[in-house]
Every structure is written in C-alpha cells, then in structure tokens.
A and B are shown apart, each in its own frame.
Chain A
Amino acid sequence: MSKDTDPRTTGLAEGPLSRPDFDPRRIKEDFPIFRNNPGVVFLDTAASAQKPQEVIDAVSNFYAHDYANVHRGVYALSQRATDHYEAARLTAQRFLNARQSREIVFVRGATEGINLVAQSWGPWALKAGDEIIVTEFEHHSNIVPWQMLRDRLGIVLKVAPMDATGGLDLPAFEALLGPKTRLVAITHVANGNGAVMPIEAVIRSAHARGALVLVDGCQAAPRMPVDVQALDCDFYVFSGHKTYGPSGIGVLYGKAEHLEDMPPWQGGGDMILQVTFEHTIYQETPHKFEAGTPDITGTHGLAVALDYMERLGRDNILAHEERLTEYGARRLAELPGVRLLGAGNRRLAVLSFEVEGVHAHDLATILDRHQVAIRAGHHCAQPLMDRLGVAATARASFGVYNDEADVDALVAAVKAAQELFAS
C-alpha cells in the first residue's frame, strides 16, 4: 500500500512523504514524559525511546474500546481486535518494505526474533562444522543465541573484527567467509559506538558465498528508512520500544522462502490448524511462529508508533539524527580530556566517550544531578568494550525529540564533572 492510499495517513502528509518542517522542539510536545519531568535532558534513546501521546492513548483506548482475543471469536469485538492485529502486520510490512505481510512475525522484541531464528532455522539448516559469523560490534542478544546453538550443534562461531577506526574491517570479514559459512548475523548500527555497518556489502559478499544474513535493526529501524527488499537481507529484527512504541513487542522479518521451510519453535494455540493426540497440523507462516495469545494491545501500539515515525518522515528523522550526531561529536571533541570512541567512517545517533580522570559511572551520577540522562557501562556489548580496551563508557544517544540544546546541556554537565573532579 502506498503512503497516499493509506487511510491512516491521508490528509496528514500531502505530496512529499515527510513533513518539511521537522522541528524537534515541537515534536517534544508530543511526548508527555518531558512535560511531566520538566528540565530532563533525555539522551538514552538507544536503550529505549520515550512514547508519544498518541501511542499511549492508542494502548489505553484499545483496552477501552476494541479489546478481545484474536483469531478466535466469531463475535464482532474479536473480529475487530483481529483486524487491528493484522492491520499492524501490514503497517510493519510497509515500514520495512517487505514484499508480503506473511514475512512479518510478531515477537517480544529483537532478542526473541534472533532466538526464534537460532532455535528454528538453526537445527533445521545446520550440521556440525558449519559456520556462523558475527561481528565484534554485536549486542549480547546477537552473540549469546548463536553461542547456545554452537554448543548444541557443534557448529563454529567466527567473529569479524573492528578496524583501527572503529568501523567493520570489511576485508577481514570477507576473509572469514568460506564454503562452510551458513549465516552472517550483524548489527545495522552498533549500539556500543554508533558505527553504521556496511551491510549492503556484507549481504552481497555473504550471498555470493551462499550464506544467509540476519540483520539486527534495533538502532537502525528508529533512525533510517529500511528497505529489506533493496537490502536483500534474509532476516531483519527490531524492537518496538526503540521505535517509540510499547515494550514487549517487536518484529522479525524473514523472506517467505525461509519462513516456509522453518519449523515452528514454540507449540501452543494459534499456531495450529488441527490437533489430535497422534498428530498436529501447523498453521502457515507467520502464524506458525506465533504460539499463544500474542501481545495484542502492544502490537496495535507498535503500529501507531510506526505510523507516527512515517508521518515525521523517515528521511527527516535520519537527516535530524545525522545533524545532531555531527554536532554532538564536534562539541565533545572540542572538550579537553574527552575521548570520543571511533565509529569508522559513519556514525549515527550514538556518542560513546570517556572523560579522563572521571569514571563513566561517576560521570553518569554527576550528569544525572544536572538532569542529563545518559547510559554508563558496557551497553550489553562487553566484547566490544574489551576490544576497545575500556571497562565502561558514557553513552549519549539521540531521538526525534532531542536538539542542539540537549547537546549543549550535556557538554555543560561534562564540564561540571571535570571541575568537580579537578577540585
């Protein structure tokens, strides 16, 4: 469905898809958290995004007006809930530009999406000695499921390294590809240092060797247009709570040809056609992967959040995040004693840094007293931190509601921390 024929967006965006007047200060007014916490400078969207009023209302109104179980009742309410649920699948399909809606599987989040692929596709497709490649940039959620699979199946897990600039070492990655490589699991944008991975080149090289590619889109999906058909990736996962939607809901995209072949991973209601004690016939994809009553309300909230992002304009959001990232990197680099971690030739939305003489945790405490919320620690990417030779970094990350004033507040608070520790 094109943007122009989507009934939920017609009338809101005429002509160009995106709002030309992208104004973070006005966008901030859509998010009641800022009204209820005046003065807070929120720079931790990479961990989880705040929610616009319309997502909050959608969740509440759904319970008040439209709630019933899905795919079960013949009564009108259940039909309406089912319609919303399947409409959300169409919204997610559009959001990723998937070819078919049955390529969209609702999961609890990116973590569950990766585990689904590992546990369903893994034992079905792999035998001992086969190889999976991950990178040094991965979040724990894109490492541990593959380690568990390695220990279960006797496969080999290889790790593509970072280069000296903090980007992916593409030649080293390509050298790891071999006749036994079956899957490459790679992040689109690294949450630890903000490096944008050259996934187009990675996917091309992997496919040339007959390997599939799973992309972790947790940091990319909230910030840039994603076209899974253009990318030609085999799997793509993202989490709703990072795309301004509720937590507990997320999306796994898989090419239909893979999802059709893959066996179910959890058994239960909703994923079956017929059950006897002797034999069960499973539903088709995507339903065969959605056992049990799903997060019905969360799915609706996710669809509203994705529509909200579309209305802001995904290109606008990307341009905004790039501008803010560049400004933030420049301002931090100007500060004596601050070391910004490298992120290769393209950084997006994440600034990971160290302040000489001030441990990241002390820095986060001091910044908090200046109402600046950042993350301090290993960012669920301990191997990346080890590679960078740091135990913990401070991480500031951006969302649609941030602007240059937030960066200025960060810089002022970092200076205050330096002064306190120099005293």
Chain B
Amino acid sequence: MMDLRDLYQDIILDHGRKPRNFRPQEHASHTAQGHNPLCGDRVTVYLTVEDDRITDASFVGRGCAISTASSSLMTEVLKGKTLDEAKQLFHSFHASVTGHDVPALDEALEDDFERLQPLTGVKGFPARVKCATLAWHAVEAALKSGGKPAEPVKTE
C-alpha cells in the first residue's frame, strides 16, 4: 500500500498551501471552468495564447490540496509552451496519473514532465485521480473550443 507521504509530498503541500499563478486574467484568450461534482470543487483556468504560444497561464477556484497543487504546477509548466507542447504534456501527464503507458515526449519537455511527477502519487488513490486531472481537463477544453467552452468541464 502506498504511504500517505507518496501522495502528500512536500511540493504538493507547498503548492496546495501557496498556489502559484493564483489569479484571474482579464484579457485571457482562453478560459474554462472545471467542476468536480463529487466534491463540489471548482477551478477556472485562464490562458493567454499569442502566435500559438501560451504566454500566461493562471487559475482561481477552491479545491483540495491535490487539485490546487496540480493546477498550480500546471500553470507553471504551461507558460511559454506551444499549443502542441501543451497537448503533449497533457497526454503524458494524464497517462502517468491514470497508470497508462506514457506516450513519448519531445526531449525539451522532459524536465517539465519530471516536475509533474509528484502528482503521480494519486495512482495509489483511485478516488483522487480526478482531483489531479481537473485543471488539465479544463485547459484541454479551453484550447479545443478555441476560446471559452459553453459548459463547465466535469470530471464525471
């Protein structure tokens, strides 16, 4: 059985308590809401995309330590990425927290992927996987819609 410390590593507790990029963006080009109906957690993500590159990423909302830390780390790694790189990171991250084979990543993204590894502790806590993926699903929906999806993204 996985230890609680595998889930609640220092970096998770730190980002859960003091999330980075925790702010709305008035002029974001892309935004989407994520909602976890199981616990009532809500997150709104904001992206500024210029010439196919994410120049700013931020979020607001209330959630558990896992979802807050995941949102926070996500905004850190997404800044400066192209849309294709963001998509690669989403797919690799999603595969790694759900216990699937992780698709190959561009070499340049490996450090960022490594930075997200503390969140893979949720693999041993199936009820918590959605907490880690909520903000990422919101980003995916925002990018897919080309701006703002009509409905909040649900984890169920």
Q: Which residues in window 401-423 of A have CB below 8 A to B?
A: 420-421, 423
| Chain B window 117-133, contacts with chain A (Cβ cutoff 8 Å), 1 for yes, 0 for no | 00000000101100100
Given A359-B65, A361-B64, A365-B128, A392 contacting B4 (CB threshold 8 A): no
Cβ of A154 under 8 Å from chain B: no
Interface residues on A, range: 10 to 19
Partner of B131 from A361, A385, A420, A421 at Cβ < 8 Å:
A361
Stretch at the interface among B35-43, B89-97, B99-107, B138-146: B35-43
| Chain A window 374-390, contacts with chain B (Cβ cutoff 8 Å), 1 for yes, 0 for no | 00111000100100000
A391–B4 CB distance below 8 A: no
Partner of A378 from B16, B39, B128 at Cβ < 8 Å:
B39
Q: Which residues in window 29-57 of B have CB below 8 A to A?
A: 38-42
Tell me how far the C-beta of B35 lies from the nearest C-beta in chain A, rounded to whole angstroms: 11
Cβ of B73 under 8 Å from chain A: no
Cβ of B22 under 8 Å from chain A: no
The docked-state distance in angstroms from the alpha carbon of A378 to that of B42 is 13
B40–A378 CB distance below 8 A: yes
A378 neighbours in B (Cβ, 8 Å): 39-40
A391 neighbours in B (Cβ, 8 Å): 39-42, 62
Tell me how far the C-beta of A373 lies from the nearest C-beta in chain B, rounded to whole angstroms: 12
B66 neighbours in A (Cβ, 8 Å): 361-362
A361–B8 CB distance below 8 A: no
B65 neighbours in A (Cβ, 8 Å): 358-359, 362, 421
The docked-state distance in angstroms from the alpha carbon of A391 to that of B68 is 15
Cβ of A366 under 8 Å from chain B: yes
B128–A382 CB distance below 8 A: no
* Residue of B whose beta carbon sits closest to that of A385: B40
Grouping DSSP codes into helix (H, G, I), strand (E, B) and loop, the B interface class, with mixed when no group exceeds half, is helix
B10 neighbours in A (Cβ, 8 Å): 423
A366 neighbours in B (Cβ, 8 Å): 4, 8
A361–B62 CB distance below 8 A: no
B41–A365 CB distance below 8 A: no
Cβ of B7 under 8 Å from chain A: yes
The docked-state distance in angstroms from the alpha carbon of A369 to that of B4 is 7
B62 neighbours in A (Cβ, 8 Å): 391
Tell me how far the C-beta of A135 lies from the nearest C-beta in chain B, rounded to whole angstroms: 20
B13–A392 CB distance below 8 A: no
The docked-state distance in angstroms from the alpha carbon of A366 to that of B121 is 13
Tell me how far the C-beta of A382 lies from the nearest C-beta in chain B, rounded to whole angstroms: 7
Cβ of B63 under 8 Å from chain A: yes
The docked-state distance in angstroms from the alpha carbon of A361 to that of B155 is 15
Cβ of A360 under 8 Å from chain B: yes
| Chain A window 34-49, contacts with chain B (Cβ cutoff 8 Å), 1 for yes, 0 for no | 0000000000000000
* Residue of A whose beta carbon sits closest to that of B4: A369
In the complex, which of the residues A359, A377, A385, A392 has the most CB atoms of chain B within 10 Å of its own CB atom?
A359
The docked-state distance in angstroms from the alpha carbon of A421 to that of B8 is 8
A420–B4 CB distance below 8 A: yes
* Residue of A whose beta carbon sits closest to that of B8: A420
| Chain A window 336-364, contacts with chain B (Cβ cutoff 8 Å), 1 for yes, 0 for no | 00000000000000000000011111100
Q: Which residues in window 325-344 of A have CB below 8 A to B?
A: none
The docked-state distance in angstroms from the alpha carbon of A380 to that of B128 is 19
The docked-state distance in angstroms from the alpha carbon of A122 to that of B50 is 57
B131 neighbours in A (Cβ, 8 Å): 361
* Residue of B whose beta carbon sits closest to that of A390: B40
* Residue of B whose beta carbon sits closest to that of A370: B4
B125–A392 CB distance below 8 A: no
In the complex, which of the residues A357, A365, A376, A385 has the most CB atoms of chain B within 10 Å of its own CB atom?
A365
A365–B7 CB distance below 8 A: yes
A360–B125 CB distance below 8 A: no
Tell me how far the C-beta of A193 lies from the nearest C-beta in chain B, rounded to whole angstroms: 16
A377–B38 CB distance below 8 A: yes
A362 neighbours in B (Cβ, 8 Å): 8, 16, 64-66
| Chain A window 188-216, contacts with chain B (Cβ cutoff 8 Å), 1 for yes, 0 for no | 00000000000000000000000000000
Tell me how far the C-beta of A388 lies from the nearest C-beta in chain B, rounded to whole angstroms: 12
* Residue of A whose beta carbon sits closest to that of B36: A361
The docked-state distance in angstroms from the alpha carbon of A421 to that of B18 is 13
B125–A376 CB distance below 8 A: no
A392–B128 CB distance below 8 A: no
B128 neighbours in A (Cβ, 8 Å): 361, 365
A377–B4 CB distance below 8 A: no
Tell me how far the C-beta of B98 lies from the nearest C-beta in chain A, rounded to whole angstroms: 17
A359–B40 CB distance below 8 A: no
B40 neighbours in A (Cβ, 8 Å): 377-378, 382, 385, 391-392
B39–A361 CB distance below 8 A: yes
| With A358-B65, A362-B64, A392-B40 already in contact, 11 other A-B pairs whose C-beta atoms are closer than 8 Å | A361-B39, A361-B41, A361-B66, A362-B16, A365-B4, A365-B7, A369-B4, A377-B39, A420-B5, A421-B13, A423-B10
Closest 4 CB pairs of A and B: A359-B64, A391-B40, A361-B64, A362-B64
Q: List 16 A-B contacts (CB under 8 A).
A: A359-B65, A361-B41, A361-B128, A361-B131, A365-B4, A369-B4, A376-B39, A377-B38, A377-B39, A377-B40, A391-B39, A391-B40, A391-B42, A392-B40, A420-B5, A420-B13
- By a beta-carbon cutoff of 8 Å, the part of chain B in contact with chain A is 4-5, 7-8, 10, 13, 16-17, 38-42, 62-66, 125, 127-128, 131
